[in-house]
Amino acid sequence: MKTKKRITIYDIAEKLNITASSVSRALNNSNHVNEATKNLVLKTAAELNYKRNVLASNLRMGKTKTIGVVVPRINQNFFSNVIAGIEDATYQKGYNLIICQSNESRDKEIKCINTLMNQHVDCIVISVSVESDDHSHLKNVLDQGVQLIQFDRVADELETLKVINDNEQASMEAVTHLIEQGYKRIALLEGPQNLNIFRQRKTGYLKALKNFNLPVISELVIENAWTKELGAAATRKLLSLPEPPDAIFASTSDFSALGVLDVAHAMHIKVPSELGILGYANEPFTELTTPSITTIDQFSVNMGKTIANLYFEEMENKEVVVTPKVISIKPELIIRASTRKKR
Amino acid sequence: MKTKKRITIYDIAEKLNITASSVSRALNNSNHVNEATKNLVLKTAAELNYKRNVLASNLRMGKTKTIGVVVPRINQNFFSNVIAGIEDATYQKGYNLIICQSNESRDKEIKCINTLMNQHVDCIVISVSVESDDHSHLKNVLDQGVQLIQFDRVADELETLKVINDNEQASMEAVTHLIEQGYKRIALLEGPQNLNIFRQRKTGYLKALKNFNLPVISELVIENAWTKELGAAATRKLLSLPEPPDAIFASTSDFSALGVLDVAHAMHIKVPSELGILGYANEPFTELTTPSITTIDQFSVNMGKTIANLYFEEMENKEVVVTPKVISIKPELIIRASTRKKR
DNA sequence: TTTGGAATGGCAATCGATTGCATGAATTTA
DNA sequence: TAAATTCATGCAATCGATTGCCATTCCAAA
């Protein structure tokens, strides 16, 4: 390991017989240096292959051009897409990304936040874990003066920048679609209601029913069916009711919709003629199942880019105190075979 | 933004009427402090909610407890799984992860490496982009004394730590399986041959044919068919041959296998009876297609953990100059419907 | 000729934590 | 009792970059 000593501004200064101050000013394009020396410094810096020591710079400046991202799971399609979007946009501005996963655990989430704060990130982007009810750790971030942007799963009560989907609207459109296809007894698989996205989706479901004067049948609303397994279990229960549903809206995820489909297959129930299935998130696999699954696309990569750009905008007019900004992205219903009852 | 000033070791020192040196020693559990003062410092630090300024520490120490990861695409299942695995293992050791994506571009890859080097990461983990033939930018990393770990797609000629899959073996097993199922004219969709993983998979294919004394039919080997679209195009070409293949090994990815399947469906060719299909990577969707696709699992999350642990091992015995270590993970053939010709 | 101001650039402190060396006290050994 | 150790702590430099303040030079206006 022959670690040759890195070139510093002092090396440049020495070579040019000036002080480090001037070198620094030249490199930062300050107008407190002569144009000639500025060029000289730039030229020498290039020659010596000088690289600014960001560690020193960060310490001095108190900022790191780094954004911390906390998601429940990195390897979940929606989240990895959002991250890809963020990376794409931040990269262009010379920002770095530190990624943490909370594994849906409140404890780990808190630790992630602490780590990121210790790293002095300039901004934290988070989609909260399912366990996180109390958001004091997020409040801390704000108190420390660090920018906080929530996305997708957000804590409503915290006044932060937010980038969300219009879950209610999407859900309403989805259920409306089911009704228009002629489904009459529509079941809802709902997610943990402490997360607002799942509450909103439920609201959309209820509103759609109301719009068409359909009754809300409580036995058709299943709590906490947000994994493939839970979705399957819920479906078994639903389909063995005296009056089973003729459609199931897995408002939690495409994975639970997949559980529904599996059970339907196993019970030889025809989809979509006997049972309509609708998922959420437009996971890649939804167009590959037989039948393909109708679902809702959240424009996840785009969401990531929006988050990044929101941050940069805020940075630019940081003096102006804006009311907490919320950007809502309208998701799109992707109609596929699993709900095409009418031909 | 009421940024209360952070507590530093000087604040603790002042409060206890000692110097910052002693505080630092106490916090670092040095044995150059009295046990009593050490405890006192620890207690006061906790009371004042002291957090070490890692920026300052990093500058002084010249290391950052940060690992940089460069992958072609964050939101590709294999890579996001590997990242998840790395995160999981590094998190426990208090390390951070900076993630970059090269987007399969050599230019971007170089920029990523530079960024990470500027950030003084302790280690760079990379799976090279398809465009990267010349690896001088990686050599640079080594020259600067930064640990470099390659995985999956590796530059053979660079003497670094490597974590790879035994592609040749896996490929051979896959083709052997096809032969044993009774397929006789087995086509190969191969990837860009500048990447060693694709060369190895081809070698495996050739070896399997040889083992069974089957001829290599050059028109059944299609170059550069590594996306869904290219896989589909290749399939159309193959199936319109005077003597078409009875099986296609999409050695590049499950996506190209998906392209094969699509074309087979469109041409009303029965899978697996008339055409066997075999993919690579065990993407989640492969068990959801009709028929489900036989593929090769790479234990991606586990691969990530292996990478992280390899780094930590190396750290511990850094004095010992070990010959560049290569860890090869044996992938597993997942046999599904798309190749079950015999019943 | 004098004065005022702009343009340059140097000095030194600062951002916090770490650490080699020195000092002085306490303890042990001869 | 004197010399030799050990132990605890302080001092000051260091890691590089940044920046407020001051000093000098030079030119233009009065």
Q: What is the pLDDT of residue A2?
A: 43
Q: What is the pLDDT of residue A324?
A: 73
A301 neighbors A137 (Cβ within 8 angstroms):
no
Lookup: nucleotide whose C1' is closest to B20 CA: C17
Find residue A326's DSSP bridge partners: A162
* pLDDT digit string, tens, across residues A140-189: 999 999 999 999 999 999 999 999 999 999 999 999 999 999 999 999 99
* pLDDT digit string, tens, across residues A195-239: 999 999 999 999 999 999 999 999 999 999 999 999 999 999 999
CA B236 to C1' C20, in angstroms, rounded, equals 73
Q: Which nucleotides in chain C lie closer than 7 A to a protein CB?
A: 7-12, 14-20
Is the Cβ pair A74, B80 closer than 8 Å? yes
Asked if the peptide bond before residue A244 counts as cis, ω within 30 degrees of 0, the response is no
Q: pLDDT tens per residue, chain B (343 residues)? A: 445 679 999 999 999 999 999 999 999 999 999 999 999 999 999 999 999 999 999 999 999 999 999 999 999 999 999 999 999 999 999 999 999 999 999 999 999 999 999 999 999 999 999 987 899 999 999 999 999 999 999 999 999 999 999 999 999 999 999 999 999 999 999 999 999 999 999 999 999 999 999 999 999 999 999 999 999 999 999 999 999 999 999 999 999 999 999 999 999 999 999 999 999 999 999 999 989 999 999 999 999 999 999 999 998 876 555 667 999 999 999 999 999 998 6
The Cα-based distances of A59 to A119, A281, B49, B57, B340 in angstroms read 11, 41, 20, 9, 62
Q: Dihedral through CA B239, CA B241, CA B244, CA B248, nearest 10?
A: -50
Q: Is A143 helix (H, G, I), strand (E, B) or coil?
A: helix
Residues 6+ apart with CB under 8 A from B328: B164, B165, B166
> Widest CA span of chain B, in angstroms?
91
For A261, nearest residue in chain B (alpha carbons): B288
Pairing of strands B66-71, B96-101: parallel
Residue B247's φ and ψ, nearest 5 degrees, are: -155, 150
What are the chain A neighbours of B100 within 8 Å (beta carbons)?
87, 91, 97
Q: What is the pLDDT of residue B5?
A: 78
CA A34 to C1' D26, in angstroms, rounded, equals 14
Find residue A123's DSSP bridge partners: A67, A147
Whether A53 sits with its Cβ under 7 A from any strand C atom: the answer reads no
Q: What is the pLDDT of residue A73?
A: 95
Nearest to B223 by CA among B233, B209, B212, B214: B233
Amino acid code (one letter) for B176: T
B145 neighbors A6 (Cβ within 8 angstroms):
no
Write out the H or E segment, with its range, that includes residue A110.
Answer: helix A106-118
CATH class (in words) of the domain with range A167-298+333-339: alpha beta
Distance, in Å, from the CA atom of B325 to the CA atom of B230, rounded to the nearest integer, reads: 36
Q: What is the mean pLDDT of residues A87-95?
A: 95
B65-165+300-329: CATH number: 3.40.50.2300
Nucleotide D9, nearest residue via CA and C1': B22
B245 neighbors B221 (Cβ within 8 angstroms):
no
Amino acid code (one letter) for B25: R
What are the chain A neighbours of B52 within 8 Å (beta carbons)?
118
Residue appearing with tokens 């980038």: A163
State the fold for domain A63-165+300-328: Rossmann fold (3.40.50)
Query: Where are the domain boundaries for CATH 1.10.260.40 in chain B?
Result: 9-52
Q: How many CB atoms lie within 10 A of CB A107?
A: 12
User: Does position A300 have pLDDT exceeding 50, yes or no?
Assistant: yes
Q: What is the pLDDT of residue B2?
A: 43
Find residue B162's DSSP bridge partners: B150, B326
Whether B25 sits with its Cβ under 7 A from any strand C atom: the answer reads yes
Q: What is the mean pLDDT of residues A116-135?
A: 94
Distance, in Å, from the CA atom of A285 to the CA atom of B80, rounded to the nearest integer, reads: 16
Q: Which nucleotides in chain D lie closer than 7 A to a protein CB?
A: 7-12, 14-21
CA B261 to C1' D3, in angstroms, rounded, equals 91
H helices, E strands: number in chain B: 12, 12
A252 neighbors A225 (Cβ within 8 angstroms):
yes
Whether A33 sits with its Cβ under 7 A from any strand D atom: the answer reads no
Q: What is the pLDDT of residue A1?
A: 41
Query: Where are the domain boundaries for CATH 3.40.50.2300 in chain A?
Result: 63-165+300-328, 167-298+333-339
Residues 6+ apart with CB under 8 A from B314: B147, B161, B322, B325
Whether B35 sits with its Cβ under 7 A from any strand D atom: the answer reads yes
Whether B34 sits with its Cβ under 7 A from any strand D atom: the answer reads yes
B166 neighbors B328 (Cβ within 8 angstroms):
yes
Q: How far is A242 from chain B (nearest CA, A)?
A: 30
SS3 of chain B: CCCCCCCCHHHHHHHHCCCHHHHHHHHCCCCCCCHHHHHHHHHHHHHCCCCCCHHHHHHHHCCCCEEEEEECCCCCHHHHHHHHHHHHHHHHCCCEEEEEECCCCHHHHHHHHHHHHHCCCCEEEECCCCCCCCCHHHHHHHHCCCEEEEECCCCCCCCCEEEEECHHHHHHHHHHHHHHCCCCCEEEECCCCCCHHHHHHHHHHHHHHHHCCCCCCHHHEECCCCCHHHHHHHHHHHHCCCCCCCEEEECCCHHHHHHHHHHHHHCCCCCCCCCEEECCCCCHHHHCCCCCCEEEECCHHHHHHHHHHHHHHHHHCCCCCCCCCEEEECCEEECCHHHCCCC
Whether B6 sits with its Cβ under 7 A from any strand C atom: the answer reads yes
CA A275 to C1' C24, in angstroms, rounded, equals 87
Is the Cβ pair B87, A77 closer than 8 Å? no
When CB atoms are compared, the residue of B4, B83, B115 closest to A74 is: B83
A104 neighbors A308 (Cβ within 8 angstroms):
no
What are the chain A neighbours of B120 within 8 Å (beta carbons)?
53-55
B9-52: CATH number: 1.10.260.40
Q: What is the pLDDT of residue B7?
A: 96
Q: What is the pLDDT of residue B320?
A: 57
